[in-house]
Amino acid sequence: MTSTSLKHTTVLLDEAVDALLGGAGPEPAGTWVDGTFGRGGHSRLILLRLGPGGRLVAFDKDPEAIAEATRITDARFSIRHEGFRHLADLPAGSAAGVLMDLGVSSPQIDSPGRGFSFRFDGPLDMRMDTTRGESVADWLATAEVGQIAEVIRDYGEERFAGPIAKAIVARREERGPLATTAELADLVAGAVKTREPGQNPATRTFQALRIFINAELEELQQALEASLSVLQPGGRLVVISFHSLEDRIVKQFIAKHSKEVFDRRAPFAKPQAMKLVALDRIKPSAAEVEANPRARSAIMRVAERTATV
């Protein structure tokens, strides 16, 4: 099964592009940013909607996503082989809108060689960017019980994090490090005593290790902060999250910057003006979830940069 044979259905495709370009008028000009190109669903629709004076800059860490992006021959499009924290490298006030789709693409999940899923046996990798950094297998080969338990608990919200971590280290000491997704999934299944209905016992552990090895939450926080600098007044920030840890960060970030900040040490000083206006919270329709079950947990939040910089 090759990545080119795997299909990806973009979640909230029309809703996200409508929200991003909302208010920009027909044939929008200016520079727009797709912070997570993936397989290019959002980028392609944005390009269809932009005018001749529009430009789209996309980011992605995945070499396979970069290869897919080279198929786009539109001169208004460019792709950077970098994570979206590198939004900070763009000039201040240069972007008319920023879109971030935080989901893992179907080709990534469904390709056994990437090691993202317990449904297929493959190398225990999980790196978004396979050209750099250590894999999950590399990290688990040396990490201590406490470190592993902390990652699985904090990023997977797994209540059996302790037993799972102990089982991983015990297995390592007895028979050598874990090397494949099937080995990890089987080990977790033996350590998790109760299962949530309809959920594989390894779900939370795999999520936690993927988030950790790719520093996903840290990068999201960096990208959100960078968006404040990069967005023009009136520019839209659109973020699609797929689990509660991500959505909590996005929700709190928008809420934090959607109110004036008063300095209690200087009660008569002018408050710091709010930087964002929260516009919307959108979930996929029942029809979309039925057609694409992977959309069911998606939440899209939309905010607009204020005129005060």
Per-residue pLDDT reduced to its tens digit, 187-216: 999 999 887 787 889 999 999 999 999 999
Concatenated DSSP letters for 243-306? SHHHHHHHHHHHHHTTS-B--TTSTTSPPBPP-EEEEEEE---HHHHHH-GGGTT-EEEEEEE-
Confidence (pTM):
0.90
Note the pLDDT of residue 266. 60
pLDDT in tens, 139-170: 999 999 999 999 999 999 999 999 999 999 99
Q: What does each C-alpha distance from 125 to 56, 122, 131, 146 come to in angstroms?
A: 31, 8, 12, 21
- Domains parsed from the chain with CATH numbers: 3-106+216-305 (3.40.50.150), 130-213 (1.10.150.170)
- Length of the chain counted residue by residue: 309
Residue type, 150: E
Ranking 24-28, 61-65, 105-109, 223-227 by mean pLDDT, the lowest is 105-109
**Which residues make Cβ contacts (< 8 Å) with residue 119, sequence separation at least 6?**
none
Which of 128, 147, 155 is CA-nearest to residue 245? 155
Count of beta carbons in the 10 Å neighbourhood of residue 23: 12
Phi and psi torsions of 91, nearest 5°: -60, 145
